[in-house]
Structure 1
């Protein structure tokens, strides 16, 4: 079975469980939802892959009820698409969604960095610098995504706006599978590291307008790049699907037959 296209991975015997079974003290449906989110983000469950209730229930050793609740939660968050009589599938990647996520992030993170800069201390600035360097050194895409988010959140932490931080974190998670696409594009890593360095410098100088302008440009640029990439890919896939299929080779004429 191809894990990325044929549904929820079940072959745990060869490599150990992909996801952890649900602890009794936590909400079972939320643990299942989080496991599925992780599998979607890292590409184990590809866009359009079926999310079969029976397979998921067997994997977690639970009944169908918490699985249905988990799938409903994922649907409300935009991770899954549920169709009557057809079941649930992983939500497709969307050029418009990618751009919108980064547009909203740009507004929220501009607000957050403006509130945070006056409250930064030498200690918090040292932490930001260390996290920026850690992201620069990271070559593994999965770890880079995590380090990227941690660096960004460190810039906003002194603002002490819990609801604002929670909203930003949700958008970071929603954008992770799109960010992984950008990591595969030429020169992205170097450009991103350079933009992070300039942003950190503005925060260290306590230049609020410059920091806000840089974070907005950084995020809107990412959203626009992903929108173009996904739009062009969709056009290419549509053109390929609409190409006429080659006809079969004509049969050789029988001897003596015109």
Structure 2
């Protein structure tokens, strides 16, 4: 995130931070979705930093579209928590929030505990084999972008046999909203390893068809992640605040004048 920019990357004359190129005519039917995906990727990888402006005119010029699909894309990103849109101020990349990170994982803990309890009785040998393969893939992954996708795929494979599409949709929204926060764990490699071990223990509980143990494990796994991210973001905010605070300089002490006595 140190390489992130607070300027819109299309303004970079070098093109080093540019977003993907213009979309084709065939793709313009889904222009708003394509634009939202490109902006989301730029936010996730740090090209667009928290607070960076998302100017409609620059985005429209870059993708060779009108303002309408751009506005739709920004509304979508706002609904997902990626962007902040203010009247008369325009859109900016949403800031990282310690409280939001913790809340996302608190809600996930409740929903995913429900999902895994519903799913365990319906798991089959094939579904468990798929979950095991996805668990191993997430554990071995070192690329942040791929890990986020594989982590979500593993979790969802544990819940899939429940066949609850509305529940899955809610969980999917929370996974997307938490994506920026989950990537922070790659700055804390020891915690990534701990998370992998928790995944393995969770999979074993599902294999045993131990609903109570699986629900407890997934709840603790998600709540602990939320607490970790909350602490990390709070500490980071405090460090930034301390670094930006004006340093206090001590005033030199006034020299005491020696009293002279007459002789």
Give the structure 1 partner of residue 46 of structure 2. Answer: 43
* Structure-2-length-normalised TM-score: 0.86
Are residues 177 and 50 of structure 1, via their aligned partners in 2, closer, same or farther at CA, if it must alter by over 3 Å?
Answer: same
Partner of 1:60: 63
Shift in CA distance, 66/194, structure 1 to aligned 2, threshold 3 Å: same
Please list the CA deviations of residues 52-104 of structure 1 after superposition, one character each: whole Å capped at 9, or x if unmatched. 11111111110122212222232233211123333211000000000000000
Q: 1:183: which partner in 2?
A: 186
Alignment partner of 2:95: what SS?
coil
TM value normalised by structure 1: 0.88
**Residue from 144, 148, 151 that aligns with 1:148:** 151
Greater C-alpha Rg? 2
Task: Work out the number of aligned pairs and report it.
Answer: 246
2:9 paired with 1:18: no
SS of corresponding position for 2:178: helix
- C-alpha separation in 2, matches of 1:165 and 1:227: 25
Instruction: Name the Cα RMSD after superposition.
Output: 2.2
Determine whether 1:164 maps to 2:174: no
2:257 corresponds in structure 1 to none
Q: Which residue does 1:218 correspond to in 2?
A: 221
Write the distance in 1 (CA, Å) between the matches of 2:208 and 2:58. 54
Give unmatched runs, 5+ long, in structure 1.
Answer: 248-258
1: CA distance between counterparts of 2:119 and 2:154?
14
1:156-196 residue CA offsets vs partner (Å, 9 max, x unmatched)? 00001111111111111110100111221140221011000
The equivalent of 1:106 in structure 2 is 109
CA distance in 2, matches of 1:208, 1:33: 38
Partners of 2:150 and 2:80 in 1: how far apart?
23
Question: Are positions 1:236 and 2:219 aligned together?
Answer: no
Q: Secondary structure at the match of 1:21?
A: coil
1:31 to 17, 31, 34: 34
Distance 1:157 1:19 in 2: 36
Alignment match of 2:92 (pick from 89, 92, 102): 89
State the partner residue of 1:76: 79
User: 1:8 and 2:9 equivalent?
Assistant: yes
